Amino acid sequence: MIGSDDAVREVSMPLRLGAIVDLAPVRDRERPVWLALGEDGTISRWDVAAGDHEVVGTTTLAAESDRRPWNGHRLRRRLHASHDGMFAAVVNDYGRFGEVIDLRTGEVTLTLDNQGGHEETVPFSLEFAQSRGRCVVVHRSAWNRLDVSDAQTGVLLTDRLLPGPADGDAVPEHYLDYFHGALYVSPDGKRILDDGWMWHPVGIPSVWGLDQWIEGNEWESEDGPSRVDVCGREYYWDHAMTWIDSVRVAVEGLGDDDDVMQPGARIFDTSRTGQGGLWRMPTAVELIAFEGPTGRFFSDGTYLFSGDDSGLSTWDPVVGKLLGVVPGFSPTHHHPGARQFVQLADGVVRLWA
User: pLDDT tens across 103-133, in order?
Assistant: 999 999 999 999 999 999 999 999 999 998 9
Give, in order, the Cα–Cα distances in Å from 337 to each of 41, 86, 113, 344.
26, 16, 31, 19
Mean pLDDT of all residues in the chain? Answer: 92
SS3 163: coil
CA distance 306 to 294: 6
pLDDT confidence of residue 276: 54
Q: Residue 28 pLDDT more than 80?
A: no
Tell me what percent of the residues of the chain surpass a pLDDT of 90.
77
User: pLDDT tens across 208-248, in order?
Assistant: 999 999 998 999 999 999 999 999 999 999 999 999 999 99
Q: Residue 3 pLDDT more than 60?
A: no
Q: Residue 85 pLDDT more than 70?
A: yes
- Binning pLDDT at 50, 70 and 90, where does residue 264 land? very high
pLDDT confidence of residue 77: 95
DSSP string over 250-267: EEEEESSBGGG-EEEEEE
Which sign, positive or negative, has the C-alpha torsion 52, 342, 337, 136? negative
Phi, psi values for residue 171, rounded to 5°: -75, 130
Query: Taking the model in full, what pTM does it have?
Result: 0.94
pLDDT confidence of residue 73: 86
Please enumerate, as own/partner, the contacts of 315-322 that have beta carbons within 8 Å and a separation of 24 or more: 315/265, 315/290, 317/244, 317/248, 317/250, 317/265, 317/267, 317/288, 318/287, 318/288, 319/288, 320/265, 320/288, 320/289, 320/290, 320/292, 322/292
H or E element at residue 149: strand 145-150
Which sign, positive or negative, has the C-alpha torsion 315, 321, 326, 327? positive
Sheet with 107-113: list strands edge to edge: 76-81, 87-93, 97-102, 107-113
- Binning pLDDT at 50, 70 and 90, where does residue 280 land? low
Between 252 and 4, residue with greater pLDDT: 252
Query: Is the distance from CB of 37 to CB of 22 less than 8 angstroms?
Result: yes
Lowest-confidence segment of 3-7, 207-211, 310-314 by average pLDDT = 3-7
Query: Is the distance from CB of 150 to CB of 157 less than 8 angstroms?
Result: yes
pLDDT confidence of residue 165: 63
Q: Residue 1 pLDDT more than 80?
A: no
User: pLDDT tens across 197-208, in order?
Assistant: 999 899 999 999
pLDDT confidence of residue 104: 97
SS3 118: coil
